[in-house]
Amino acid sequence: MGKEDDKTKILLDADVIRNFISGEKLDLLAKIFSERFCIIDRVKNELCRSKKLKENVMDFIKTENIQEIGFPDSDMDIVFEYGRLIRDGLGDGESACLAFARYRKTYISSSNLKDVLNYCKTNGIKNIPTMEVLREALAKNILTENEIDMFIGKCISKGERLPAKNWGEYIILDK
């Protein structure tokens, strides 16, 4: 991932949280980037609209001390950028993350690369998708390759979209 002393906040997007719920490793997510993950209220609200996810999300935020960030309605740069992203067809939580990250110099963690990759490149925003979160977990000995393969398998079996069917395949694709 880079510098160990990097303490830049990382805004979690809904898809990464859903991946970790589906992969049954939500309890480990906060440990991978200790005290750096946070969640914008619009992402939390998006996730909590699902009764199936609400309890998991609320417990995760509370037990892992995930910082909740209110959308800054008084920051017109962020509000206008958010509105532009919504008009461009991005989702509520994703738009909030991208607009906030652009003007507040945070990172994001989104696996919806089709929608966020070009925006992040254009605006100098670092994105850490699910597979890169897993790479960090492996580097920190939080998960083994076998556990990552089981995680990926559970995600796929529950309808989540990931770029590879196992860790070895991802490493080959990532070259």
Taking domain 10-129, whether its CATH number is 3.40.50.1010 is answered by: yes
Q: How many CB atoms lie within 10 A of CB 51?
A: 7
Domain boundaries, the chain: 10-129
Q: Which helix (H) or strand (E) holds 98?
A: helix 92-104
| β-bridge partners, 40 | 69
Six token digits for residue 25: 């490793």
Measured distance CA(139)–CA(53) in Å, rounded:
29
Residue of 40, 6, 7, 28 whose CA lies nearest to 110: 40
Q: What is the pLDDT of residues 148-166, one digit of tens each?
A: 999 999 999 999 999 999 9
How would residue 16 be classed by pLDDT, with cut points 50, 70 and 90? very high
Q: What is the mean pLDDT of the chain?
A: 93
Q: What is the pLDDT of residues 82-111, one digit of tens each?
A: 999 999 999 999 999 999 999 999 999 999
- What integer is the mean pLDDT of 58-87? 96
